[in-house]
């Protein structure tokens, strides 16, 4: 998923920085701002027990599937009644269920009625987050998953597997520049492709992983872990506003939408880390309250907390250190004839603390 602040491309930098600093008897790794789940999944693969958490429910669904599931689900409850007959020569349970969902007839539910041009035609706010066809596909799949769940035909792992796959599929065909703060006026090429559920990469594991959906600031003092990894937002852009459509697909709770962008109510999901005056005190409190021996913070040189103030806050509790990695970020500046690309140098930070 193309997610703001995703650590997918930095996962080996994190692995190197974290593993060289912690001792080998560390077993429990907490990813308290888990986003897409890529960091938790990476350290799950390394043999840690993972505790993942995020304040957003779509992120909880992704983590509940990628971190929380350790064996590919069998979907016995859905397949046992024999009503689903594969249309092609496939025999894998997951593939059969995904194919069934991918070929359902579209339905005009909340997504179509609120985020698609056809569904919002003639209303105060015409929106184009998805093509009409994809909005109706998304509704049909979301309703079927919920019906199976309510009828007791899915295990919890299976329910979240399908929700995570749907969130990922919807994001791939969203008609946005990347986040859901606005939709595009024209329909971009990827948004014209049909929404298709895909298999998730499940990492097999013998550990009993935990996934939470709460404010991490309140969670840290209740958790027992060896490593606390923190990857909070770096700037004022709230994730609840940038990913509100994914939140609604995940919850499917008929929210009252506001304005042209169709924002859902989100006051209880606003993060202190997006506010200049609150970020550093919130960070310092989490470092103070955690029982983890090691605390790591991912951040960058453009964040609202400064490098020196972070080191000073961490330094109150033990030996703090900083690893950096440079990368070139390319920004498109449009002039009348050509796009001119400007490269800026940004530094990615990994702060480390060995608590005393």
Ligand X SMILES: C[S@@+](CC[C@H](N)C(=O)[O-])C[C@H]1O[C@@H](n2cnc3c(N)ncnc32)[C@H](O)[C@@H]1O
Q: List residues near ligand X by CB under 6 A.
A: 3, 5-7, 33-36, 38-39, 53-56, 59, 215-217, 231-233, 239, 271, 273
DSSP-based three-state secondary structure for 319: strand
Give the DSSP per-residue string, 15-75. HHHHHTTS-TT--EEEESS-TTSHHHHHHHHTT-EEEEE-SSHHHHHHHHHHTT--S----
Nearer to ligand X, 55 or 353 (CB): 55
Answer for the pair 70, 209: CB distance below 8 angstroms, yes or no. yes
Of the pair 39, 154, the CB lying nearest ligand X is at 39
The values of phi and psi at residue 150, to 5°, are -65, -30
Say if residues 72 and 94 touch (Cβ distance below 8 Å): yes
CB of 229 to ligand X, least distance (A): 8
Least distance in angstroms from the C-beta of 36 to ligand X: 3
Of 149 and 273, the one with the shorter C-beta distance to ligand X is 273
Q: Give first-to-last CA distance, the chain, whole Å.
A: 37
Q: How far is the CB of 207 from ligand X (least distance, A)?
A: 20
Residue closer to ligand X, measured from CB, 69 or 274: 274
Nearest approach in angstroms of CB 174 to ligand X is 17
Supply the minimum distance, in Å, between the C-beta of residue 224 and ligand X.
18
Angle (nearest 5°) at CA 44 between 174 and 300? 60
> Which CB atom, from 214 or from 340, has the smaller least distance to ligand X?
214
Q: Which residues pair with 325 in a beta bridge?
A: 348
296 bridge partner residues: 229, 352
Distance CA 139, CA 145 (A): 10
Give Cα separations from 122 to 101, 118, 125, 130, 342 (angstroms): 30, 9, 8, 17, 42
Q: Least distance from C-beta 67 to ligand X, angstroms?
A: 12
Q: What are the C-alpha distances in Å from 283 to residues 27, 107, 314?
A: 23, 45, 9
CB 68 to ligand X: min, Å: 16
Nearer to ligand X, 56 or 94 (CB): 56
Shortest approach of ligand X to residue 213 CB, angstroms? 9
- Smaller CB distance to ligand X: residue 9 or 71? 9
According to DSSP, residue 342 is labeled: E
| Closest to ligand X by CB, 196 or 215 | 215
Owner of token pair 């899915």: 154
């Amino acid at each position: 998923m193309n997610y703001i602040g995703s650590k997918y491309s930095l996962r080996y930098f994190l692995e190197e920085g974290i593993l060289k600093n912690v001792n080998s008897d560390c077993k429990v790794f907490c990813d308290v701002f888990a986003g897409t789940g890529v960091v938790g999944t990476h350290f799950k693969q390394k043999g840690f027990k993972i505790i993942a958490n995020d304040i957003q429910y779509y992120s909880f669904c992704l983590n509940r599937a990628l971190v929380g599931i350790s064996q590919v689900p069998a979907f016995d409850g859905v397949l046992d009644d024999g009503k689903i007959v594969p249309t092609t020569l496939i025999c894998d349970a997951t593939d059969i269920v995904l194919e069934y969902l991918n070929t359902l007839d579209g339905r005009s539910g909340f997504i179509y009625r609120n985020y698609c041009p056809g569904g919002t035609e003639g209303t105060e706010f015409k929106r184009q987050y998805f093509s009409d066809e994809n909005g109706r596909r998304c509704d049909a799949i979301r309703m079927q998953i919920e019906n199976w769940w309510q009828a007791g035909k899915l295990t919890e792992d299976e329910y979240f597997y399908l929700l995570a796959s749907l969130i990922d599929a919807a994001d791939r065909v969203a008609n946005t520049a990347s986040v859901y703060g606005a939709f595009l006026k024209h329909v971009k090429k990827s948004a014209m492709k049909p929404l298709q559920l895909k298999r998730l990469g499940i990492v097999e594991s013998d550990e009993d992983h935990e996934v939470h959906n709460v404010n991490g600031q309140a969670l840290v003092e209740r958790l027992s872990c060896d490593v606390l990894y923190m990857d909070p937002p770096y700037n004022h852009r709230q994730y609840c506003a940038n990913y509100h459509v994914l939140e609604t697909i995940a919850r499917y709770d008929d929210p009252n939408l506001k304005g042209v962008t169709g924002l859902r109510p989100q006051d209880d999901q606003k993060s202190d880390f997006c506010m200049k005056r609150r970020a550093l005190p919130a960070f310092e409190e989490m470092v103070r309250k955690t029982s983890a021996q090691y605390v790591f913070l991912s951040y960058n040189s453009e964040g609202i907390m400064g490098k020196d103030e972070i080191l000073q806050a961490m330094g109150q509790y033990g030996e703090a250190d900083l690893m950096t990695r440079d990368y070139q970020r390319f920004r498109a500046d449009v002039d009348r004839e050509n796009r001119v690309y400007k490269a800026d140098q940004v530094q990615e930070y990994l702060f480390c603390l060995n608590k005393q």
